[in-house]
Chains A and B, each alone.
Chain A
Amino acid sequence: MAITVVSRLAYRALQRRLLQSALFLFSIVAGVALVVGVDVAAESARRAFALSTASLQGNATHEIVGGPSGVPTSLYRRLRTNLGIRTAAPVVQSTVREGASGLALTLMGIDPFAETQMRQFLADAAVSGATGVSGQALLRLLAEPNTVLVSESVAARLGVEPGDTFELFTTQNRETFTLAGTIRPWNDLSRQALAALVIADIATAQEFLDTPHVLTRIDLILTDAQTLLEVREALPPGVALRPAESNRQTLAQLSDSFTLNLQALSLLALVVGMFLIYNIMSFSVVQRRVQIGMLRAIGATRRQILASILLEALVFGVVGTFLGVAAGYFLGGFLVGAVTRTITDLYYRVEVQVLTLSTFTVAKGVATGLIASLGAALLPAIGATRVTAASALRSVDAEQTTRTHVDLAAAAGLVVLAAGFGLTQLQTRSLFFGLGALFLILMGCILFTPAALLLAMRSVQPVSGLLFGTLGRIAPRAIVRSLSRTGVAVAALALAVSVIVGVSVMIASFRGTVTEWLDGALTADVFISAPASGLLETINIDPSLTTLLQEVPGVTHVATARDVPVLAPDYPQLPPVNLVAISTNPQQVSPSRRFVWLAVEQDEVWEAMQAGAIIVTESFAYRRRITAEDYALTLLTDQGPRTFPIVGVFYHYGTDQGIVLMADSVYRDLYADPWVSSFVLFVTPETSSESVVENVRRLVADQGLVVQGTRALRTEVFAIFDRAFNITAALRSLVAIVAFIGILSALMALQLDQKRTLGTMRALGLTAGQLWRLTFLVTGLMGLAAGLFALPIGLLLAKLLIDVINVRAFGWTFAYIVPAGSLLQAVLIAMVAALLAGIYPAWRVSRLAPAEAIRNE
């Protein structure tokens, strides 16, 4: 019974303090929503990719894939006629674009007769032909040139109906296609599979893609080991058999580092939110001090008090978590666009049809929400149990214990810091441990804050006294006296600002490094390639274009690059290697290329490459543990596996998956691949690259190629870069908002705490104006302290982000660039936040009648 009375009182308290309740709810909702939202966005993108890959693979258990030369049709014939394998289906697949909209679509060429057991989305979907007969649509697909099937939704997007025509183009071809029929998705899986799919007969696809003798892959359903062995033995050199599932996983993991970093940042926002809750709960305990004392006097036990406070937190926690998960789902809807955009820019093309709210995400959101609310309320709740009937009337006692807490916190901070640094020293490449260490170090620093604040206020007192007189002496003392409030408020603000500093410095360092790298890398004048479509797409351009380009006035030299995914048998769990075969000395294309290490002289690199050596990027080397001592790479060529010596590792920030540079002549000897992927042009000094760009654009008008000058390419690179950091920047702002609310509530608690003191001062002759000044002095000092504390913490955070997290996540090292402006900005943000947050409490205090403030209830 007693507990219900206590709960009822808690409920009343809740009712009365609407603003606090709202703040509590806000912090939980915001924190949980961020965690859930980022998760939903990342998970939806991942699931969409996995689903579309999986559904495109259908029931296949295995696939046979080749290098750039693809898989020969003769192998398929052999599987069917010699080995008698019926569950094999040939696939020709490539990205194409729609003529009017430029919309990227996957063209999938299939043999309908081989599909019956393979692809569920084909078996389940109904085809509406021009006359409504599915067989008829399929017959047209087989019999008539340039006929395709798309899903009803793709047809709607393109604004076509069965029988209508539309254009598709690649870098080599542009043709008009007739829609033979539309496919109605049958469930979510088929909807995802068909989201951006154009289905054609395999012959149509080969004609259009100009790959008449090559299959992209052969999908297989192989269930017994004997057949598997037979297939493996039948494989010609240059192709590989692999489980379909493992392929899906290695591909999906391409974007893992990116999403894990986002998730870590969202968790950081929740931690800041926890500080907020801590403040609010402390505030509410302070407000109810007398009430709690009275409850204790009439017989409530400490456990009941503890339970009632925790129950209050739990109720808020549950409500906030529930709202947070719901809000997170919607937030995910907003974030998913930005997330998929970057994933498509950097990794693979993905289109999210349905938002995924997995039970894991919900569980994670619920767990973080409840743990955060209970965890943050625990200390104030324990504090509340210390309130006795007698002590309720005094306030000092709380502060004395705080002093011991300050020492304890500093000691704990030391331990946590040591643990964090210890974790960074572990011989592991685990990103998870890296982020764990980051959190520990951040927490360790924050635990030091109250002690640092104590020290800082004592030393600042003479200075502020000199500057502001009596009020200047009172303000630091006021902060010290209420260390239990001010310490936490400053810590929360310092944490938030340090996150802002750390992330800003990290982004600035990265951007600076990329700028410098681009300056070195982009020495050619004109760049020709296809629209970017991620790592997994191969762009085929007719090499005969080289001759035409050479004839463009002002062009001195044309270099080509062939960019293809190639299998590396030694790294089956990693995605295929991005092999770039270049026709020109890389030192000529970018003379200031910087190497991590080189086994030959800088000017001998090209010679070594022409003799069969390769050079790789830093992140490539990191992911495959290639060191100056262990430097060879085996790649699957048309003639079977070949091992290449690595003579150098160079810095490159184009892709975190890394690339391998090979001499074009070496590449063409090993692969029967006629195509090139991009061109770079060098022009004479007296020619303007703009005029060359114009001329080349006219030349390749039909091929859907992108022709850019150095400046335009630079702009594009940075646009992609900035998009990748958009979410990071957005999360940074959210952290700032949470921190502002945190400091606001802390200051309110502080002013309430000092109500009697301030009342006494008013009674002693302090004017309302002086009271305002005092409040602003206090909050300003706190903001300044938080800002100053945040600088070293933020710089340390940046250092960790750059040296540990980015290396582990992306395999990149970059220069540590500290923009002085952003540091100053951070201190200002802290001070402005603190000052702004001081307005409302100051206004409330200034309206207090002295007599009422002093009165003891």
Chain B
Amino acid sequence: MSRRYVNYKVLLFGLVVIGVSILLIGVLWVSTRPSQPIGADTAILPSAFNTDGFARAIDPWLWEFPRDHGPHPAFQSEWWYYTGNLTTASGRRFGFQFTIFRRALLPERRNSKSEWYSNQIYMAHFTVSDIAAGTFYQEERFSRGAADLAGAEISPRFRVWLDDWSVQASDDSAATMSIHAKADGYAIELVLTQVKGPALQGVGGLSQKGPEIGNASYYYSLTRLATEGTVIIGGEEFSVDGTSWMDREFGTSALSEGAVGWDWFALQLSDGRDLMVGQIRSEDDSTEPAFGGLLVSADGQTRYLPADVITITPRGTWQSKHSGATYPAGWEIAVTIDSTPLRLLLEPLLADQEVRGSVTYWEGAVRVSGDATGYGYAELTGYAQPIRGMF
């Protein structure tokens, strides 16, 4: 018996030694793990560069189209943002988001012999929401704005592209544009035609994002683009038509200190009206009073909506099992226009429309009911991480 006891002790000791060793190795392994691997995604995230030298959105912009569809490299950030709700003849619904972001690393280009040199980085997000199947497809891409790999141009015609993803005008005035994007397992081929002209957001296209001068962007939208084409899921092609929305912004560091993100809604109502409402949220749970909304009537007339006439009330939440972030899901939006209230109920067509790339946010198709019906897109940022400084 005593012999056995000794053996147990030896065994115990051995186990302890092995355990401690594993622990030590584990600790060493974890501590030597690189904290931030090199990769394209880390490149665009932290803004190592200050905004010195870039133009700011301060004065009213002298808008000219189609010129302003093209790039504005004097500003640090710019984006071409397309969202839309599409249906097949049999009523199967799809949502899509196709966005190309431009971000300047430095305000000035240096002289370089190399065609690979650029001070511009492009990022693209492409998502498709297959409502019937309950599937959300997404892909993110990066490229330098050089060697014709990515870029934006207005001459000879409007075009913005990254690799084989592109939006280009079919005519000189860019009244019609087409989107080509093929990702892993899904693709879209769409032709978009302007039903209404550019609608200037904010005050004459100067959209204030904070109280400070310059914390603003130049912002316009094509709120109603008649859309037709195909959506390809796996091997299957769907002929679709519907309505898209294009958002265009350019500026330099628009968000103020303390801003964590925004909720943004682009709604296309069946009565022909389009409505943009949004709010910029601060760390202290307040919202930015300088940022308002826009109502575009069926004939294209626009009307600025100050923040105090808009109420956005979440009606539920959804927690992402991917990022762990909790987003509001479903809203009641109340807008008072000429003392006439407009009460709209919004409901996501799909709960999980979370985009997880270098930035994590929720961008998805929603259905509108209440005083008016329609479809639209909602964008919720700053729920997984603060978004200030990124755009």
| Number of A-B pairs, beta carbon distance below 8 Å | 123
A115 proximity list for chain B (CB < 8 A): 38-40
Judging by beta carbons under 8 Å apart, are B114 and A206 in contact?
Answer: yes
Q: Which residue of A lies closest to B35 (CB)?
A: A126
A294 to B44, alpha carbons, bound, how many Å? 89
**A367 at interface by CB-CB < 8 Å:** no
**B308 at interface by CB-CB < 8 Å:** no
* Contact among A76, A82, A126, A145 for B34, CB-based, below 8 A: A126
B149 proximity list for chain A (CB < 8 A): 77, 80-81
Could you show 10 A-B contacts with beta carbons less than 8 Å apart? A77-B148, A80-B164, A116-B41, A126-B35, A127-B36, A134-B37, A135-B46, A143-B106, A183-B38, A204-B114
Besides the contacts A113-B144, A183-B38, what 11 more A-B pairs have beta carbons closer than 8 Å? A111-B144, A114-B40, A116-B40, A123-B38, A133-B48, A140-B48, A143-B105, A184-B34, A203-B112, A203-B146, A207-B117
A124 to B36, alpha carbons, bound, how many Å? 9
* Contact among A112, A136, A210 for B113, CB-based, below 8 A: A210
A-B CB proximity, top 10 nearest: A126-B34, A203-B117, A143-B105, A206-B114, A212-B113, A134-B36, A136-B48, A203-B114, A135-B42, A203-B116
Judging by beta carbons under 8 Å apart, are A123 and B39 in contact?
Answer: yes
A133 to B389, alpha carbons, bound, how many Å? 15
* Contact among A113, A124, A131, A206 for B37, CB-based, below 8 A: A124
Judging by beta carbons under 8 Å apart, are A206 and B116 in contact?
Answer: yes
**A122 at interface by CB-CB < 8 Å:** yes
A145 to B40, alpha carbons, bound, how many Å? 19
Judging by beta carbons under 8 Å apart, are B114 and A207 in contact?
Answer: yes
**B265 at interface by CB-CB < 8 Å:** no
From residue 252 to 302 of chain A, which have CB atoms closer than 8 A to chain B? none
Minimum distance in angstroms from A224 CB to a CB of chain B? 13
Contacts A126-B36, A213-B115; is A84 near B110 (CB within 8 Å)? Answer: no
**B87 at interface by CB-CB < 8 Å:** no
**B172 at interface by CB-CB < 8 Å:** no
Judging by beta carbons under 8 Å apart, are A142 and B43 in contact?
Answer: yes
B34 proximity list for chain A (CB < 8 A): 124-126, 184, 186
Contacts A184-B34, A202-B114; is A142 near B39 (CB within 8 Å)? Answer: no
Q: Which residue of B lies closest to A131 (CB)?
A: B48
Contacts A80-B149, A84-B163, A113-B143; is A134 near B48 (CB within 8 Å)? Answer: no
**A754 at interface by CB-CB < 8 Å:** no
**A73 at interface by CB-CB < 8 Å:** yes
A145 to B113, alpha carbons, bound, how many Å? 12
A142 to B44, alpha carbons, bound, how many Å? 11
**B49 at interface by CB-CB < 8 Å:** yes
**A844 at interface by CB-CB < 8 Å:** no
Judging by beta carbons under 8 Å apart, are B115 and A212 in contact?
Answer: yes
**B196 at interface by CB-CB < 8 Å:** no
Judging by beta carbons under 8 Å apart, are A113 and B163 in contact?
Answer: no
How many chain A residues touch B (CB < 8 A): the figure is: 45
Judging by beta carbons under 8 Å apart, are B117 and A73 in contact?
Answer: no
B115 proximity list for chain A (CB < 8 A): 73, 212-213
* Contact among B105, B110, B112, B142 for A113, CB-based, below 8 A: B142
**A86 at interface by CB-CB < 8 Å:** yes
**A676 at interface by CB-CB < 8 Å:** no
Q: Which residue of A lies closest to B36 (CB)?
A: A134
A481 to B147, alpha carbons, bound, how many Å? 88
Contacts A82-B164, A143-B105, A203-B114; is A138 near B42 (CB within 8 Å)? Answer: yes
**B343 at interface by CB-CB < 8 Å:** no
Judging by beta carbons under 8 Å apart, are A112 and B40 in contact?
Answer: yes
**B240 at interface by CB-CB < 8 Å:** no
**B45 at interface by CB-CB < 8 Å:** yes
* Contact among B36, B110, B143, B164 for A135, CB-based, below 8 A: B36
Judging by beta carbons under 8 Å apart, are A111 and B116 in contact?
Answer: yes
> Which of A114, A139, A210 has its CB near the most chain B CB atoms (within 10 A)?
A139
Q: Which residue of B lies closest to A134 (CB)?
A: B36
Contacts A206-B113, A212-B113; is A135 near B43 (CB within 8 Å)? Answer: yes
Judging by beta carbons under 8 Å apart, are A125 and B38 in contact?
Answer: yes
How many chain B residues touch A (CB < 8 A): the figure is: 40
Judging by beta carbons under 8 Å apart, are B38 and A84 in contact?
Answer: no
Contacts A81-B163, A113-B43, A210-B113; is A143 near B38 (CB within 8 Å)? Answer: no
Judging by beta carbons under 8 Å apart, are B36 and A207 in contact?
Answer: no
Contacts A80-B164, A123-B37; is A138 near B43 (CB within 8 Å)? Answer: yes
Q: Which residue of B lies closest to A190 (CB)?
A: B34
B39 proximity list for chain A (CB < 8 A): 112, 115-116, 122-123
Judging by beta carbons under 8 Å apart, are A133 and B46 in contact?
Answer: yes
A184 proximity list for chain B (CB < 8 A): 34
A144 proximity list for chain B (CB < 8 A): 106
Minimum distance in angstroms from B22 CB to a CB of chain A? 19
**B121 at interface by CB-CB < 8 Å:** yes
B110 proximity list for chain A (CB < 8 A): 145
Minimum distance in angstroms from A494 CB to a CB of chain B? 57
Judging by beta carbons under 8 Å apart, are A73 and B42 in contact?
Answer: no
Minimum distance in angstroms from B254 CB to a CB of chain A? 20
A207 proximity list for chain B (CB < 8 A): 112-114, 117
Judging by beta carbons under 8 Å apart, are B43 and A112 in contact?
Answer: yes
B37 proximity list for chain A (CB < 8 A): 122-126, 134
Judging by beta carbons under 8 Å apart, are A113 and B40 in contact?
Answer: yes
B48 proximity list for chain A (CB < 8 A): 131, 133, 135-136, 139-140
Judging by beta carbons under 8 Å apart, are A143 and B49 in contact?
Answer: yes
Q: Which residue of A lies closest to B147 (CB)?
A: A73
**B356 at interface by CB-CB < 8 Å:** no
**B72 at interface by CB-CB < 8 Å:** no
B141 proximity list for chain A (CB < 8 A): 86
Minimum distance in angstroms from A121 CB to a CB of chain B? 9
**B176 at interface by CB-CB < 8 Å:** no
A111 proximity list for chain B (CB < 8 A): 116, 144
What 0/1 pattern do residues 179 to 223 of A give for CB contact below 8 A with B?
000011010000000000000011110110010110000000000
**B182 at interface by CB-CB < 8 Å:** yes
Judging by beta carbons under 8 Å apart, are B147 and A77 in contact?
Answer: yes
From residue 21 to 55 of chain B, which have CB atoms closer than 8 A to chain A? 32, 34-46, 48-49
B32 proximity list for chain A (CB < 8 A): 186
From residue 90 to 115 of chain A, which have CB atoms closer than 8 A to chain B? 90, 111-115
Judging by beta carbons under 8 Å apart, are A212 and B114 in contact?
Answer: yes
B170 proximity list for chain A (CB < 8 A): none
A82 proximity list for chain B (CB < 8 A): 164
**B119 at interface by CB-CB < 8 Å:** yes
A202 proximity list for chain B (CB < 8 A): 114, 116
Minimum distance in angstroms from A791 CB to a CB of chain B? 62
From residue 45 to 91 of chain A, which have CB atoms closer than 8 A to chain B? 73, 76-77, 80-82, 84, 86, 90
